[in-house]
Amino acid sequence: MSNFTILLSLQKIAGLLSLAGALIVVAVVVFLLISATKEEDKTTAKEKVYKLRGRYLWGIIVMAIVLLFISFKSLPYSHSKEKAAEEVTVVGYQWLWKMDKGVYNAKLEDFGGKNEIELPVNKSIKFIVTSTDVNHNFAIYNSAGVLVTQTQAMPQHKNILQYTFKEKGEYQILCLEYCGTAHDFMVGIIHIN
């Protein structure tokens, strides 16, 4: 079971629990109001409903906090502490991607990368992602067109994306943040060998 599948099933459980909780509360409220005929009964019923509502709210808050912590682990973002086998600098421009191996600290205008790169399979790759102009999003798709990982490419900021490609093949890079007229043309290729 992948992390993502676990996350999906956790979401389903959380959804079902809150739905069940909501239905119970509605049933109790309806029962209290129907069974209270006299005026004073109605006041007592109302008080009971308010008390129940307060408890229900606290229940939801506690459940939300617990589920938040459980599901943190399954978030599909890299939190790798392992040492990267390869470092790659990625720069977004309106409207193209440039990539090159190694850490680049000089002027971005002089950066000589290409929109195509070869990287090893089953090795931790550390992408250092930035932009020269506006926000872009460096998104990597596998050959089946499924998004495998992504991060923002922001001017004056370096985002680290660490990822291990488990399968050989051709991965496509698309821009996942609308960045102007030719946004759709910001395409790159990563060959994993």
- The residues of the shown chain that bind ligand CUA, judged by CB under 6 A, are 92, 95, 136, 175, 177-179, 183, 186
Residue 45 or 151: the one with the smaller Cβ distance to ligand CUA is 151
Residue 117 or 186: the one with the smaller Cβ distance to ligand CUA is 186
Type of residue numbered 163: Y
Residue 158 or 183: the one with the smaller Cβ distance to ligand CUA is 183
Radius of gyration of the chain (CA): 26
User: Whole-number minimum distance, CB 1 to ligand CUA, in Å?
Assistant: 34
Contact 134, 180 (CB under 8 A): yes
Q: Where are the beta strands (DSSP E) in the chain?
A: 86-93, 96-101, 116-119, 124-131, 136-141, 147-153, 159-164, 169-175, 187-192
User: Whole-number minimum distance, CB 128 to ligand CUA, in Å?
Assistant: 17
Residue 102 or 155: the one with the smaller Cβ distance to ligand CUA is 155
Q: How far apart are CA 101 and CA 90, in angstroms?
A: 9
Q: How far apart are CA 78 and CA 156, in angstroms?
A: 21
User: Whole-number minimum distance, CB 157 to ligand CUA, in Å?
Assistant: 15
User: Whole-number minimum distance, CB 150 to ligand CUA, in Å?
Assistant: 12
Structure tokens at 4: 């993502």
